[in-house]
Structure 1
């Protein structure tokens, strides 16, 4: 494939019914397009027309780079990578003869001078508004059933997308350089295949010279003859039995370029009648009755009708309406039938709203068993927050009967209570199996469903310093809401309730030595509600008033007859003194008792004074 011809080329892509062009080749019948084309001024039963040059623009449509001015169409400017065409607005009746006369300007440069690509005259059985393949396909590639003639000014030595290689003879037949040539092209299979046996060399483009061309077709012998630049091409073997053909004149450039134009002198042909085909199919698209084809002059009205087909009932009409007007392109009406059968329906009802969720219509031959079950649909609704109430569909399956059968499945909205123990998570799916379904609404999280009232008691001294740790008590309340799992709405508000208690019990003030609280207790508080304010109490401790006792310095007694050293009086010393006194037999007995008593009293006073002094000093808080 040459780089030059790998460019856009406007042509026609087959979308209509296609029969054979070459004997022995059968093609499929793609779906028709319903594009309208312009109409010439024909009359019923008088479809023979002659278009003169001045009628070019009113009977052809230019596409791409194509421009029609007067009797001349510029298909490509002398620029790279351009493509254009002109398309006849009606189809040609190929059962009748036609004659096209005009002039062709292929440009001013040969391939060796940078010129390309050439011009094509394309006939194809599809609609008039389709576009075909690119480059070397010359407008034939990709158009099944296409056929025509080309003036090729660029040699393609290899197969490419939508075309086969040009005849090797023209690779270097112009003094060792590629030569321009004319040939018929068969595009029956959608691949542009140059018919080598019809190829003849033509003069290279020069000076934008317009040269005469004439294409004649004999509707009886089905021979096509092309006369150009003093040479004649004719063919019959490749022309099939197609009765109506679309027609286009196309050209393109690639990296090589030329100004390429076509000048119309006259075109005499018979306008093809429009056709409407009625198809009769079942729901699977299978034909159940023969097609009916109608033809008529363009603009005339037509009407189709359904057939009565035993064992079937008409379901719908597809495609065009049953009435219309003939157009250049084929039209079709498709009647779709269903078999006569038993019928049933299953209705799913939302008991919460009373509305029908969906109704499944079931059809089948009477006596046949349906494969339908309600399980999947019920599961789908349960995933969306519903719960099953009842299902009267037969548990062993449905058998179709002549009479209509009705079944009902009842469902209701599942609801979920939310509270501090079972909160929601706003913004997340209520139903885990339905991630795109309703979300938990605001106010259903644990924090929103919980309220607390706090009692705080502070224990301080008069100077504000802490006397004891605070005592904190809390009363908590929970809010319960009921959420609809289907809609995500809050449908019931059960209000607030205590979680364990609704009061603050009595709090006794702690005891602190030498201090007294201004409140011996904080009384019990009853009737706490979610709207109650927090409670804060302060207990103040004041120092107890006391009378200080002055200590008496003790005088160490001197015991008669005792050589004990003076020092601190202790219990041990006292015991020792008493023992010594008891054993002093040498002392006079009369004086001993008196002295002993006085000494003992003195010691007791001294010990009491010392003990009182230290005790008072330890207990006193400075």
Structure 2
């Protein structure tokens, strides 16, 4: 039986080498090395995530936990009637390539706390540069406040009429609502002493010709109401789209161009977070599917030079 030792690296090219088999004869091989960054159309670099392999790529922090059997991330538990601070996050353990496309499909469930009268602070789907383990500021920041360069989609379920530094600008409409957001430097907001990150960057809702906050109903959120939700991102155009459907059939969707935010930050991570204190709830995300391309992926193919057939040692290697 022939045995091979792989030689690999980022880049594009072919490496030739010989392998000595058990019979004492050598056999020549070519190692094809294809860089994911060099071939944006290479579908082999796409990683598909479902409930069974979710824990391979995502980690939880704070009060968040993952039920693999049912594919449900419990971002925060309901700790009412105590009203103690809760915060949870699940995050991609590496960076994704923002020059390639991304898709998330799932279902959101918010079970109200305090006998059905509070709905947490909301849930954030944040694309962020830098350290994937970084937890943003809580409260109105919903786990993303204070992080420079963060953007994404927020479902806001607690109205904050006053902006807080390092957390969030004031809500543009009465909650609940769904909106795109991006973190902006906002030094003039009210000070907060309990921030994790001492930064002026606060969550700001995007309201322009492309997209604007869309009002939801508190009645949309109750135990057993699973709301289908998707986020799609086009790596070529840098446009992001979301869709949310309520149990009574109302459909919300939006699209926004994040070219400016992605520029210079082609490697970003995804964090999904929630929190609450005075506004308690149990916030769940049912994971159906996620497709993304990791930064620094290398596809390695072992090819028999004599037959031209691909050998079973082929593999995909992840960087960053």
TM over 0.5: yes
Equivalent pair of 2:101/2:292 in contact (CA under 8 Å): yes
Are 2:75 and 1:61 equivalent residues in the alignment? Answer: no
Match in the other structure for 1:118: 122
SS at match of 2:78: coil
Q: Which of 166, 179, 185 is residue 181 of structure 2 equivalent to?
A: 185
Q: Which of 278, 284, 294 is residue 255 of structure 1 equivalent to?
A: 278
Are 2:230 and 1:209 equivalent residues in the alignment? Answer: no
Match in the other structure for 1:76: 76
Q: Alpha-carbon deviation of 1:109? A: 5.5
Match in the other structure for 1:246: 269
Equivalent pair of 1:298/1:327 in contact (CA under 8 Å): no
Match in the other structure for 2:140: 136
Are 2:118 and 1:104 equivalent residues in the alignment? Answer: no
Match in the other structure for 2:252: 231
Are 2:199 and 1:194 equivalent residues in the alignment? Answer: no
Moved more, 45-54 or 104-113: 104-113
The 1-side partners of 2:115 and 2:164 are apart by 19
Q: Give CA deviations for 1:16-50 in whole Å, capped at 9, x if unaligned.
A: xxxxxxxxxxxxxxxxxxxxxxxxxxx96432111
Equivalent pair of 1:122/1:139 in contact (CA under 8 Å): no
The 2-side partners of 1:116 and 1:206 are apart by 12
Q: Do the aligned partners of residues 327 and 254 (structure 1) sit closer, same or farther apart at CA in structure 2, a change above 3 Å counting?
A: same
SS at match of 2:123: strand
Q: Which has the higher contact order (CA 8 A, sep 6+)?
A: 2
Q: Alpha-carbon deviation of 1:117? A: 1.4
SS at match of 1:114: coil
Q: Give CA deviations for 1:163-200 in whole Å, capped at 9, x if unaligned.
A: 11001x31xxxxxxxx3101111114322112244200
SS at match of 2:53: helix
Q: Do the aligned partners of residues 206 and 270 (structure 1) sit closer, same or farther apart at CA in structure 2, a change above 3 Å counting?
A: same
Equivalent pair of 1:110/1:116 in contact (CA under 8 Å): no
The 1-side partners of 2:45 and 2:114 are apart by 42
The 1-side partners of 2:254 and 2:115 are apart by 23
Q: Give CA deviations for 1:466-487 in whole Å, capped at 9, x if unaligned.
A: xxxxxxxxxxxxxxxxxxxxxx
Q: Alpha-carbon deviation of 1:259? A: 0.5
The 1-side partners of 2:299 and 2:111 are apart by 38
The 2-side partners of 1:251 and 1:151 are apart by 10
Q: Do the aligned partners of residues 94 and 188 (structure 1) sit closer, same or farther apart at CA in structure 2, a change above 3 Å counting?
A: farther
The 2-side partners of 1:239 and 1:100 are apart by 20
Q: Alpha-carbon deviation of 1:263? A: 0.9
The 2-side partners of 1:297 and 1:139 are apart by 32
Q: Alpha-carbon deviation of 1:68? A: 0.6
Are 2:236 and 1:220 equivalent residues in the alignment? Answer: yes
Q: Alpha-carbon deviation of 1:210? A: 1.5
Q: Alpha-carbon deviation of 1:57? A: 1.6
Q: Which of 48, 51, 66 is residue 50 of structure 1 equivalent to?
A: 48
The 2-side partners of 1:123 and 1:298 are apart by 25
5+ residue gaps, structure 2 = 1-33, 37-43, 186-200, 246-250, 301-316
Q: Which of 144, 150, 153 is residue 154 of structure 2 equivalent to?
A: 150
Equivalent pair of 1:111/1:153 in contact (CA under 8 Å): no
Alignment size in residue pairs? 230
Q: Do the aligned partners of residues 236 and 105 (structure 1) sit closer, same or farther apart at CA in structure 2, a change above 3 Å counting?
A: same
Report which of the two has the higher share of strand: 2
Match in the other structure for 1:91: 95
5+ residue gaps, structure 1 = 1-42, 171-178, 274-295, 300-324, 329-622
SS at match of 2:56: helix
Q: Counterparts of 1:410-489 in structure 2 under 5 Å? A: none
Q: Alpha-carbon deviation of 1:115? A: 2.6
Equivalent pair of 1:57/1:69 in contact (CA under 8 Å): no
Calculate the TM-score normalised by the size of structure 2. Answer: 0.67
Q: Do the aligned partners of residues 298 and 164 (structure 1) sit closer, same or farther apart at CA in structure 2, a change above 3 Å counting?
A: farther
* Rg larger in structure: 1
Q: Counterparts of 1:565-580 in structure 2 under 5 Å? A: none
Q: Do the aligned partners of residues 112 and 66 (structure 1) sit closer, same or farther apart at CA in structure 2, a change above 3 Å counting?
A: closer
Equivalent pair of 1:108/1:208 in contact (CA under 8 Å): no
The 1-side partners of 2:132 and 2:75 are apart by 18
Q: Do the aligned partners of residues 147 and 110 (structure 1) sit closer, same or farther apart at CA in structure 2, a change above 3 Å counting?
A: farther
Equivalent pair of 1:208/1:259 in contact (CA under 8 Å): no
The 2-side partners of 1:201 and 1:268 are apart by 29
Two-structure CA RMSD over aligned residues (Å): 2.4
Are 2:165 and 1:161 equivalent residues in the alignment? Answer: yes
